[in-house]
Structure 1
Amino acid sequence: MNMVRAPMEKSEEEMQMVKQSLILPIVLDVLAHDIRVLQGSAAKMNGLYVKYLNTLQDKASLELFHLRRQLRQQGIKVFRQERAKQGLEAEYLCRGYQHPFMMLWSVVKAEVEAALDILMNDSSRKPIDNCP
């Protein structure tokens, strides 16, 4: 009987999913902070800005929900997350093997900005009628 064993190495796609599952909660924290700041500001249209940020929060939350479900389906479990002095640290299980994960804060910031950019671009793409 020839049994095929799951490899210890995780795929690039799995690593990206783990990274996104750690980045999206920070995106949500950033959005929540910015909403609080806007609500306390004297900006002329802060209600509109807050509404837009709430929409981004909803999109990020939904994306995180689907991502966590996908991780569960693939048997990947992030079991430790820590916002350490040097950066974001985590450990996760993938196919029964434990893997470390670490990102410096400068990289986390760039990843959060990229995720926000994607969320903003997705929400601003609305079809305009009567355009050639």
Structure 2
Amino acid sequence: MSLVRSYLLLTFIHKVFERDCRVIGKSGLFKMPQLYMEMVSIGAKKTALMLQEVKRELESADIVISTVRQDQHGVEAQYKCRGTSGDICIEWPSFRREMTVRMRAYLGLAGEFPTAARDEKVIPFALSIR
């Protein structure tokens, strides 16, 4: 279950980092966008490496993730572990909280003051894994 959870989180985090990097580069709002893009790119590279490792571990444990879905409630994945089917569902508040903690760590902000909980509630979140 922890490998499947890590796979989901890393996949979403990687997509967020990639998207944010593109937005920063195209926005025209930053005086030095390359600086911020570099920082976010470093986070994306770290997540890509970790995602590769999680995929290797899933394969060695004979775990296959067959379906990943998201809806207004959260993220759900169906998987098979050595022929036995299972599923995991993570509700958005928990998923976002863990994403934020991990993203801060990948950006080197783990020891800094965290974002206020009220700010997390108002951020709309939609992302697809394909």
TM-score by length of 2: 0.77
Q: CA deviation at 1:69?
A: 0.6
Q: 2:46 aligns with which of 59, 72, 85?
A: 59
CA distance in 1, matches of 2:28, 2:11: 24
Instruction: Specify every segment of 5 or more residues in structure 2 that has no aligned partner in the other structure, as ranges.
Output: 110-130
Query: Which segments of 5 or more consecutive residues in structure 1 lack a partner in the other structure?
Result: 1-14, 123-132
What fraction of aligned residue pairs are identical, expressed as a percent? 25
Q: Who is 1:32 aligned against?
A: 18
Identify the residue that residue 95 of structure 1 maps to in structure 2: 82
Specify the alignment match of 1:108 in structure 2: 95
Highest CA radius of gyration, 1 or 2?
1
1:18 and 2:4 aligned? yes
Please report how far the alpha carbon of residue 49 of structure 1 lies from its aligned counterpart in structure 2 after TM superposition: 0.7
Cα RMSD (Å)? 1.4
Aligned residues: 108
**Residues 1:68 and 2:81 are matched in the alignment:** no
Q: How far 1:121 sits from its partner (Å)?
A: 2.6
- Name the TM-score, length of structure 1 as normaliser: 0.76
Residue of structure 1 aligned with 2:68, choices 76, 81, 84: 81
Q: 1:32-72: per-residue Cα shift (whole Å, max 9, x none)? A: 22112211132122111101111111110111011101110
